[in-house]
Amino acid sequence: MTASGLREPPAAKALLILAAVAYVAIMLLLPLGAVLFEALRHGWNAWWAAVVDPDARASIRLTLIVAAISVPLNTVFGIAAAWAIAKFHFRGKSALIAFIELPFSVSPVVSGLVFVLLFGAQGWFGPWLERHDIRIIFALPGLVLATLFVTFPFVARQLIPLMSAQGRADEEAALTLGASGWQTFWRVTLPNIKFGLLYGVLLCNARAMGEFGAVSVVSGHIRGETNTMPLQVEALYNDYDFVAAFAVASLLALLALVTLALKSALEWRYGDELRARH
């Protein structure tokens, strides 16, 4: 029951809505449109040619591999962390959570820097790696490590409040009925968190595939070898090959839109299961 006097006059309301929509359209929709416009500037053929170019395809492959490695690893971690934090009492919980969320407050460039400092030519392990002819920086392992760092908290941060709100009751019930720890986890816990998990994995993946700053630092920018899609976009752009750059970018933009759509769908249908109620 909103009181009639509580509402703004219809003119003001319309103006505010218009202003908000205009702002979002200019700030968000226009850039999105620009990507598509520039990618198709020379028509679909040019777009297709850019997308199937060997270096572009290599970058797509690399992006998928990096995501395929980092996302599952951080997902397992996220589940483990949420299990420990949500289902048990112990000291230092908030400190642990703060540490887990640390990567969110670190600049992407610094996230990549830390691994260069460890494994780069002048890094802690640099000489050792050289001697054993192992390449981490400027190779796939470096990309994976940097991506692991920046996507570290996504799944954990989604699951911790969710599992905390759900409490221990279901698991304890399962135990009293004779289930083992693993059975309890697979048959009771996992189904309870499935939408939160999906949501977290979705966001983790979006970041893993789209990360730029951190991977840029550890990559070496070797086309065909160590360029993920975002890096390939940069390389093409710096070469003034704008149509190709935007073509690859359009694929990433498409990924972003799909992510947004799935994210919204999950929020609308399963909002309650996703949120923690305190």
Partner 1 sequence: MPSLARNRSSPLPGFGLSLGITILWLSLIVLIPMSAVFVKSGSQGWQTFWAAAGSPRALAAYRLSFGAAALAAAINCVFGLLVAWVLVRYRFAGRRLLSALIDLPFALPTAVAGIALTALYADTGIIGRFLEPAGLPIAYRPAGVVLALTFIGLPFVVRTVEPVLAEASSEVEEAALTLGATRLQTFSRVVLPTILPALATGFALAFARGAGEYGSVIFIAGNVPFKSEIAPLLIVTQLEEYNYAGAAAIACVMLLISFALLLLLNLLQHWQQRRMA
Partner 2 sequence: MSIRVEHVSKSFSAYPALNDVSLTFNDGEFVALLGPSGSGKTTLLRILAGLEVPEEGRVRFGERDVTGDKPASRGIGFVFQHYALFGHMTVEKNIAFGLDVMPRGPRPTKRDIGRRVEQLLGLVQLPGLGKRYPSQLSGGQRQRVALARALAREPRILLLDEPFGALDAKVRRELRVALRQIHDELGLTSIFVTHDQEEAFALADRVALLNQGRIEQFAAPAEMQSGPASAFVREFLD
Identify whether the C-beta of residue 211 lies closer than 8 Å to the C-beta of residue 231: no
Alpha carbons 49 and 7: distance in angstroms, whole number: 55
Given partner 2, partner 1, none, residue 22, with its beta carbon under 5 to 8 Å by kind, binds: none
Which of 46, 53, 185, 192 contacts partner 1 by CB under 8 A? 185
Residue closer to partner 1 by CB (options 48, 124) is 124
Instruction: Take residue 138 and report the two structure tokens written for it.
Output: 């400027």
Alpha carbons 54 and 238: distance in angstroms, whole number: 18
Q: Does 1 bind partner 2 (CB under 8 A)?
A: yes
Place of tokens 């028509």: 43
Alpha carbons 126 and 116: distance in angstroms, whole number: 9
Given partner 1, partner 2, none, residue 95, with its beta carbon under 5 to 8 Å by kind, binds: none
Q: Does 182 bind partner 1 (CB under 8 A)?
A: yes
Q: Does 253 bind partner 1 (CB under 8 A)?
A: yes
> In this structure, how many other beta carbons lie within 10 angstroms of the beta carbon of residue 237?
15
Residue closer to partner 1 by CB (options 174, 195) is 174
Given partner 1, partner 2, none, residue 277, with its beta carbon under 5 to 8 Å by kind, binds: none
Given partner 1, partner 2, none, residue 252, with its beta carbon under 5 to 8 Å by kind, binds: partner 1
> CA quadruple 243, 244, 249, 253: dihedral positive or negative?
positive
SS (H, E, C) 12-79: HHHHHHHHHHHHHHHHHHHHHHHHHHHHCCCHHHHHHHHHHCHHHHHHHHHHHHHHHHHHHHHHHHHH
What is the closest distance, in whole angstroms, from the C-beta atom of residue 9 to partner 2 in the complex? 11
Q: Does 38 bind partner 1 (CB under 8 A)?
A: yes
- Phi, psi for residue 136 in degrees, rounded to 5: -110, -60
Q: Which stretch binds partner 1 (CB under 8 A): 30-38, 51-59, 128-136, 190-198?
A: 30-38
Which of 60, 71, 81, 247 contacts partner 1 by CB under 8 A? 81
Given partner 1, partner 2, none, residue 182, with its beta carbon under 5 to 8 Å by kind, binds: partner 1
Instruction: Take residue 221 and report the two structure tokens written for it.
Output: 């920018």
Q: Does 152 bind partner 1 (CB under 8 A)?
A: yes
Restricting to residues 4-43, name those near partner 2 by CB under 8 A.
4-6
* Residue numbers at the binding site for partner 2 (CB under 8 A): 1, 3-6
